[in-house]
Amino acid sequence: MLRYLASSRWHATLADRAVLSLTGADSRKLLQGLTTANADELAAGTPLYTGFLNAQGRVLATGFLLPASEDGVVIDTHVGSAPLLLKHLKRYKLRSKVAIADRSAELAVVAACGTAVPLEPADGVALPGDGGAWRDPRLRCLGWRGVAPRADGGDAQPPAELLGGAGGGEGSSEAAPAALHALCEAILGVGDGPAYLPPTEALPLESNLEVLGGVAFDKGCYLGQELTARTQSRGVTRKRMAPLRALAAALPVEAWLEAQPGGGTPEGAGSALQDAAGKPAGKLRLFDSALGLGAALCRLEAMGGGVLTAEEAGEVVPLRPSWWPAGVH
């Protein structure tokens, strides 16, 4: 891992991502009524991070909305969320002039990080129709993402912006295992997919969607808005998704990457977290025992209070992400 982190530029094809597309005059209008972000901003060429909710205000999926040609939109979402999201979009399409398709077989999502990856989009960078790149709208340290046609082997050749083209930067990009990007997200406490955010269970604010720029509180009505707006108006969120680390010894990162180039298998989902007094402190959502890292829906009052325990993970310590604002609650 140290080799990649010292590299000026590295990239990886993200095998856990799916690519959906919406084309037609009503594409963005449909999304405006189904997403927590303001889909009207797509008209200005702005990629968005967003959530899709059910009528009860629970998260079905999260993803990125990417303006494509004309009125079209490309959605970059977790592969485990794609079937449910596709069904959800088609359910609410009704008579809208929209064609919805899963293009994952022909398009792949790639990511690029490193010291030479630009922090701001450069002029002339194409947005994804059949390929393009954009800065990850959640956190600058996550670098850039891109959508590109798949090669015969399934991987994609990253857009030129990620390899030192229109995005600028010196040096060539080094191909890295997809697990490296997953590891960066795990360390930062950023995640998605049905294991991280169980469909119809997770709440947007508990999932940090608003902290990551995925909720527009002033956009008007959308499906599931009522519960989100009510929670925000109360000003109190008692639980949030947070990263955690185990106290037990773990594999060196380099060994883990070599053993699991595509990423590890989550363990212990659903295990209860308890504090030293045996009181409930949250619920474990993901845990990789080999790496000693995981994620949990944690009570904020339990964070900073010492060691917690979970049946499968043993002793763990929840970590407050550095990107949480000082007043997050």
Q: What is the predicted pLDDT for the residue at 222?
A: 97
Q: Which residues contact 252 (CB under 8 A, 6 or more apart)?
A: none
Question: φ and ψ at 97, to 5 degrees?
Answer: -85, 80
Rg (CA), the chain: 20
**Domain boundaries, given as residue ranges, for the chain:** 2-185, 238-329
CATH class label, 2-185? alpha beta
What is the strand order of the sheet 132-135 is part of? 132-135, 144-149, 107-113, 10-13, 174-175
Structure confidence at residue 123 (pLDDT): 36
38 with 216: CB under 8 angstroms? Answer: yes
> Can you read off the two tokens belonging to residue 51?
């959530």
Residue type, 171: G
> Given this structure, which CATH class describes domain 238-329?
mainly beta
User: Residues 27, 32, 33, CA angle at the centre, nearest 5°?
Assistant: 105
What's the average pLDDT block by block, 10 residues per block, for the chain (329 residues)?
Answer: 61 92 95 97 90 98 90 93 98 95 92 65 41 83 86 69 50 75 86 92 96 95 94 88 84 62 54 91 88 90 87 86 85
Question: What pLDDT does 260 receive?
Answer: 61
CA separation for the pair 305, 162 (Å, rounded)? 42
pLDDT of residue 180: 82
Q: Where are the beta strands (DSSP E) in 93-205?
A: 99-102, 107-113, 132-135, 144-149, 174-175
| pLDDT score at 233 | 85
Measured distance CA(78)–CA(86) in Å, rounded = 12
Tell me how far apart the alpha carbons of residues 108 and 78 are, in angstroms, rounded to a whole number.
12
pLDDT at 169: 46
